[in-house]
Amino acid sequence: MAKRDYYEVLGIQKGADEKEIKRAYKRLAMKYHPDRTKGDKDSEEKFKEINEAYEILSDQEKRAAYDQYGHAAFEQGGFGGGAGGFGGGFGGFGGFEDIFSEMFGGSGGRSRVVRGDDLRYDIEITLEEAVRGVTKDIQIRTLVHCDKCDGTGAEKGSKVETCSTCHGQGRVRRQQGFFVTETTCPHCHGTGKKIEKTCKTCHGDGRVHKTESLSVKIPAGVDTGNQLRLSGKGAAGENGAPAGDLYVVIHVQDHPIFERDGNNLYCEVPISFTQAALGGEIEVPTLEGRAKLKVPEGTQTGKMFRMRGKGIAAMRSGYAGDLICKITVETPVSLNEAQKELLRKLEDSLDGQDKQRPKHSSFFDGVKKFFDNLGK
C-alpha cells in the first residue's frame, strides 16, 4: 500500500514550523495511543503512521530529504535504515521520550518528587466571630517526616543505595516495538533507593502519622464556604518531598437574631399594635450594640427599614453592608374583658373610615370585582 504524505498524516501544511509539528503530533498521538484505544487494530496502525511521520518531519535533515525526494529518500537503506526501521524505538527518536513524558506523566529521565497530599479541615464559627475575625486552635491528623530517620526511611547508620533497577527514578520503562509503558519500580516501590535496614518507627516510609496542633487566624468578614490555605501544612511528601497544603473551610453557624445575605444582615423586629398605629422610636439590635429606629405612624407588618453600614464589613474591601429590619406587628393575646371592650369601641369608631384602613378597603374592592367578573 502506498504511503500517505507525512504532512497529510499530521494534518499540517508543508511550511509548518517545529512547534506546529510537535503540537499536531501530541494531539494525534494522544488520540490514537494504545492505552486509550484498548487494542483497536486500526488505531494501532494510525499510531504507527503518526510516529513515522513525526520521526521524519521533526528531524531537519530527514525533513529536507523528504521534501526533496519524498518517500524514496528512505527506501533501500537511505538515512540509516529508513523510516520503517527507526533504529531502536522511542529512545532514539530525538524527542519522543520527552513528548510522551509530557502526555502520560513519565519521569523524562529525572528523579520524581511527589509532593504531599493536600488536607481539608472544616471549622464552625459564630456569626460574631465571622464579623470580627478570630484565631482558632485546631488539631489535625496528618503525615509528617519521621524524626528517627530524618525522613530517609533507613535506620541510623544503615546503608542507603540507589536502586539498581530504576537507577533512582522510582519508575521503570518497558518497550515493545513502538509502544512504551512506564510503571512503578517493583524493587524499590517507587522510592528510587535500596535500604539495608529500614527504620523501625516509619517502616521505611520516611513518614509517620501524627496529630498536629495549629493556630488558624480567621480574618474578619469571612462567610460559609470561604477557604483559608495554610501553605505546607498538609501531609509530608514522599522521599523528603515538600508537604501539601491545608485548606480550612469556614462554616458560619445560624444566628438566633440575624440572618446573613452576603454583607447584609436581616432582622425581624416585633412591635405592638399601638406602636405601629401611633409610631415612635424603638430599640433594635445591631452587631455594635443597641440602636434607635424611628417607626412612622401607620406602619404595616412587613415594612422594611434599612440601616446603612450596620451590616458586615467585606473581607477584602472593608465596605460594610446594611442591616435591614423587617417589622412584624404583634397581635395582643390573652386580653381581659376591659381590653376587649376598648378594642370593640376602636373598631366601631373605624367603621366606614376607609382612609384609616387602606389595605382593608382595597382588598374588599378587589374581592367585589372578582366575584362580579366571575358571575358574568
Phi then psi dihedrals of residue 359, to 5 deg:
-70, -40
| Residue 206 DSSP symbol | S
Confidence of residue 265 (pLDDT cuts 50, 70, 90): very high
What pLDDT is recorded for position 112? 54
CA distances from 226 to 76, 264, 314, 345 (A): 68, 17, 12, 57
Which residues are annotated binding-site positions for Zn(2+)?
146, 149, 163, 166, 185, 188, 199, 202
pLDDT at 36 over 90: no
Nine cell digits for residue 77 = 537503506
Which 3 state secondary structure label does DSSP give 242? Answer: coil
pLDDT in tens, 158-184: 888 888 888 878 788 876 655 667 787
pLDDT at 86 over 70: no
Domains, in order of start, for the chain: 6-104 (1.10.287.110), 136-220+229-244 (2.10.230.10), 258-330 (2.60.260.20), 337-374 (no CATH)
Higher pLDDT, 311 or 88: 311
Rounded to two decimals, what is the model's pTM? Answer: 0.59
CA distances from 360 to 131, 278, 367 (A): 42, 18, 11
Question: Considering the chain, what is the average pLDDT of its residues?
Answer: 82
Phi then psi dihedrals of residue 336, to 5 deg:
-85, 175
- Interatomic CA distance for residues 46 and 32, integer angstroms: 7
pLDDT at 314 over 80: yes
Which 3 state secondary structure label does DSSP give 17? Answer: coil
Nine cell digits for residue 346 = 376602636
- Interatomic CA distance for residues 165 and 192, integer angstroms: 9
